[in-house]
Structure 1
């Protein structure tokens, strides 16, 4: 099998080559996104491997099909960037990696919470300048605080386990409740209750048409003054304009983002010599109580290994006409 990788980086090549005991031919298009304009680069490939910011609409999928591509493999859990109905109509199975060391993203979530709370990033810079003043670095105990988790899948549960260890009270919202969350002492409530009672709110859900901009003016109005909001899921869960207004009014006390709605033109690239024209992103960077990382929550040795192994196993099963639990077209229901 020949597989073309888009939006690839050296770490992708290293992890997939290490996992390639199938002896597939792997072609890496470094730093090249997949979209209708680049789809022709996959000519001669049996499969393509795409990432979170690649754009697989009907036009792109149709061009891939015409170039001989049979299978679409996502090396991520999210799939909102793929037109699944078009893929099924074109008879192009789509597979993903629904779970990959969920502790990776959960631990990054806690890193954002702890850094924002205790302001270790600011303290680090102060000490390097021989400034040992503690003014402006006051934090709060996580122990006894209420954390609202929106989404209690594998990553949400991994986050809940860590937060439980800190002594936090856990509230959860999920259309599909999980018994382990209850066993941890968590309580399932409606969204309004999460908003109204949480000191920290952390998003751990996929992006769907139903929850697009779920964190909007109405949601923010219901939250406690000074609440901390963390998003390590998908950027479009948050209405950036509404969040900026909440930061300016001090309704929102802390904001930690590992994802951003318009990240496709920013994240995973070195833009240190460029002028960033996204005014909302630039505005976010001006707040001292905002911490942004470039979609690195997944980025651990263990997660990269899991992603590579699962992706190649998915494609092996498709190529052998074997059942594959990670195929996504079943989400559309019966044709």
Structure 2
């Protein structure tokens, strides 16, 4: 089988090469999968895509015409692929679940700590030989209330870490793990109640139709003006316009995010030379109490190793005409 890797990044190729171990014929391209680049898949059996790639119905139709039978995602999120269309077309789809919840959770806490303790400001000041502490006052996390929306594998690691800090943990999830809740002192509440009570709101929930713009103006208005929002989920789980408006009105104290609602085609690429025409992103960057990182939470050696190994596990299963344990089908499929 011939494999095309879309959106191949220089930092991940060594991990993919090691996982492949010279077994499969692979071509790496830096281009994202779009309707314009789908033709590059001609002559290949399998493609691998990343979270920024477009596997919408239109693109999947093109891929099927070009002979693609399998798609493996190098991500845990799969909101960028239309599973119903893939199933209708007979294209099997695999993904890489739980490649490193610790990587994502630790980055979420890093965003919180950097914002709270003004580490970016402190670093800039020290480089200018300004050693004043006037702009660097934060708060103890011990005793603070942290609300975690999304208590999957990432949310649970966040809870464990912040439990260690001595925080009071609130949580929302469709599935309640009562045993975990008892062990780490987690209280499940509604989203509205979490917004009202939290000093820090952590977002670690998948992007679905139901979670799109889950954090909007009405819910932000419920929050404390001293509250921090940390987003390591997907950019679109918050309404970016409402976040910006809340920051302008000082309705929240800070926003830290590893994702951006309109990051496709921006994140993962160097735009330091060309001028980006994105007013919303520029507004976010310009706030002194906002910290944006370029979707890097997954970028640890351990996570990249797991992503690469799971990617080729999917591929090797398909090569042997076996089903992969990481195959995706629509949630309302009769095959469930």
User: Into which bin does the TM-score normalised by the smaller protein fall?
Assistant: over 0.9
TM-score by length of 2: 0.97
Partner of 1:190: 190
Pick closer, same or farther for the CA change 1:182–1:317 going to 2, 3 Å: farther
Partner of 1:274: 274
Between the aligned partners of 2:174 and 2:321, the Cα distance in structure 1 is 33
Q: Aligned-pair distance for 1:181?
A: 3.6
Secondary structure (helix, strand or coil) at the match of 1:331 reads coil
Between the aligned partners of 1:22 and 1:28, the Cα distance in structure 2 is 14
Partner of 1:298: 298
Q: Aligned-pair distance for 1:180?
A: 2.0
Partner of 2:327: 327
Secondary structure (helix, strand or coil) at the match of 1:252 reads coil
Between the aligned partners of 2:95 and 2:107, the Cα distance in structure 1 is 22
Between the aligned partners of 1:275 and 1:298, the Cα distance in structure 2 is 27
Secondary structure (helix, strand or coil) at the match of 2:47 reads strand
Between the aligned partners of 1:276 and 1:14, the Cα distance in structure 2 is 30
Between the aligned partners of 2:160 and 2:154, the Cα distance in structure 1 is 10
Partner of 2:79: 80
Alignment of 1:116-265 (within 5 A): 116-178=115-177, 179-265=179-265
Q: Aligned-pair distance for 1:68?
A: 1.5
Between the aligned partners of 1:122 and 1:274, the Cα distance in structure 2 is 26
Secondary structure (helix, strand or coil) at the match of 2:255 reads strand
Structure 2, unaligned runs of 5 or more:
none
Between the aligned partners of 2:157 and 2:94, the Cα distance in structure 1 is 23
Alignment of 1:14-25 (within 5 A): 14-21=14-21, 23-25=23-25
The size of the alignment, in residue pairs, is 334
Between the aligned partners of 2:326 and 2:305, the Cα distance in structure 1 is 17
Between the aligned partners of 1:59 and 1:243, the Cα distance in structure 2 is 32
Aligned 8 A contact 1:102 1:158 in 2: yes
Q: Once the two structures are superposed, what CA deviation does each residue of 1:48-84 show, in whole Å capped at 9, x if it has no partner?
A: 0000111111221121112221101000011111011
Pick closer, same or farther for the CA change 1:330–1:56 going to 2, 3 Å: closer
Pairing 1:107–2:106 present: yes
Q: Once the two structures are superposed, what CA deviation does each residue of 1:16-64 show, in whole Å capped at 9, x if it has no partner?
A: 001113701111002x110111011011111100001111112211211
Aligned 8 A contact 2:6 2:49 in 1: yes
Between the aligned partners of 1:265 and 1:70, the Cα distance in structure 2 is 26
Between the aligned partners of 1:71 and 1:86, the Cα distance in structure 2 is 13
Comparing 18-27 with 212-221, greater Cα deviation is found at: 18-27
Secondary structure (helix, strand or coil) at the match of 2:212 reads coil
Comparing 82-91 with 18-27, greater Cα deviation is found at: 18-27
Between the aligned partners of 2:286 and 2:330, the Cα distance in structure 1 is 44
Between the aligned partners of 1:150 and 1:315, the Cα distance in structure 2 is 33
Secondary structure (helix, strand or coil) at the match of 1:11 reads coil
Partner of 2:61: 62
TM-score by length of 1: 0.97
Partner of 2:44: 45
Secondary structure (helix, strand or coil) at the match of 2:228 reads strand
Q: Aligned-pair distance for 1:121?
A: 1.1
Secondary structure (helix, strand or coil) at the match of 1:63 reads helix
Secondary structure (helix, strand or coil) at the match of 1:334 reads coil
Between the aligned partners of 2:93 and 2:280, the Cα distance in structure 1 is 33
Q: Aligned-pair distance for 1:321?
A: 3.1
Q: Aligned-pair distance for 1:318?
A: 2.6
Between the aligned partners of 1:327 and 1:22, the Cα distance in structure 2 is 24
Partner of 2:309: 309
Aligned 8 A contact 1:258 1:295 in 2: yes
Partner of 2:3: 3
